[in-house]
Amino acid sequence: MLKGFSVPLTPQGKSALATLPPWHYSSDCIAIEYWTDPEAIAALLPPGLSLEQKSEGRAFFWFLDWQFTGSNDELTDPARYQYREAFALVEAVFEGTPVNYCPFIFVDNDAAIARGWAQGFPKKLASVHQTRSFSAPSPAAAPLTKGSRFGASVSAHGERLATARIQLEEKVRDPSSVFNRPTVMRRYFPQLAANQRAKPPVDELTMSLTDDLAIVDVWAASAELRIPEVQGEDMHMIAPRRVGRGYRLGMAYSVTNLRILRNYVG
């Protein structure tokens, strides 16, 4: 009997990139609100999602330092189970409901790629960094206080894909006023067999389900964000035309399930 949630499957189940859920996550996050070209967003949306007119091209760019654990104290093996992530969320509508859609996402860990692809996040490898807040007081500590400055960046293959900086202004009392949409993704697995290539075995619209969501220590900030054009990437198509507020927060949740909104293959 072979074990594991993802490949490689083995009798012992230790080699699998992803073990069976539940998957538990906690993170520090920097998120930047911005507006891009609505036509660029529309061109990225899969069938069933439509542009949200009143959003006027609103999007968020996120940077996250993650710690993961399954059911076996994985968090005590930080060389495997910490990772960093950066992604864009663009605003859209699904059957009348406002949602966020994730067209681009980057991580620095293969287990995060395996879990992400199983959900529908189109993850690629990159190097991601964000300023951390340390408890020992110092000009290097970046405490969670008014005026503290944080930076963040994501790079792949030696090219900078996005750079952000924020400066904390005030605590946010009600995070749900800012972060209140479900995230939908396109779960896609291609077909290489030549005679069936037009029909991918997996092509679905999915929605991320998060248990025990906790959002803590939310600060609003002034913000800068750059998404330059680099060779071999299309993310600059949704570069900022205008940047809104930045946020610095802690976020945790668990994943045990996925909602499949629509199956494009039929």
Rounded to an integer, what distance in angstroms lies between the CA atom of residue 262 and that of residue 180?
22
Asked if 99 contacts 92 with a C-beta cutoff of 8 angstroms, the reply is yes
The nearest distance, CB 53 to its own copies, in angstroms, is: 20
The answer to whether the CB of 67 falls within 8 A of the CB of 25 is: yes
205 is a contact residue toward its own copies (CB under 8 A) = no
Among 34, 38, 58, 131, binds its own copies (CB under 8 A): 131
Considering only residues 235 through 264, tell me which ones interact with its own copies, judged by CB under 8 A: 235, 237, 250-260
Site for its own copies in 5-34 (CB under 8 A): 5-15, 17-18, 21, 24-28
Under 8 Å between Cβ of 258 and 207:
yes
Kindly state the smallest distance separating residue 203's Cβ from its own copies, in Å.
Answer: 10
Query: Cα(238)–Cα(45) distance, rounded to whole angstroms?
Result: 12
Applying CB under 8 A, among 233, 239, 240, 246 the residue interacting with its own copies is 233
- Provide the pairing of β-strand 123-125 with 97-107: parallel
Q: Quick one: which segment of 49-57, 79-87, 169-177, 239-247 binds its own copies (CB under 8 A)? A: 79-87
- The stretches of the chain forming alpha helices (DSSP H) are 38-44, 78-81, 110-119
Considering only residues 143-162, where is the footprint of its own copies by CB under 8 A? 149-160
Nearest distance in Å: CB 112, its own copies: 10
Q: Does 113 bind its own copies (CB under 8 A)?
A: yes
Instruction: Give the shortest CB-41-to-its own copies separation in angstroms.
Output: 11
Q: What type of residue is 144?
A: L
Alpha-carbon distance 51 to 38, whole Å? 7
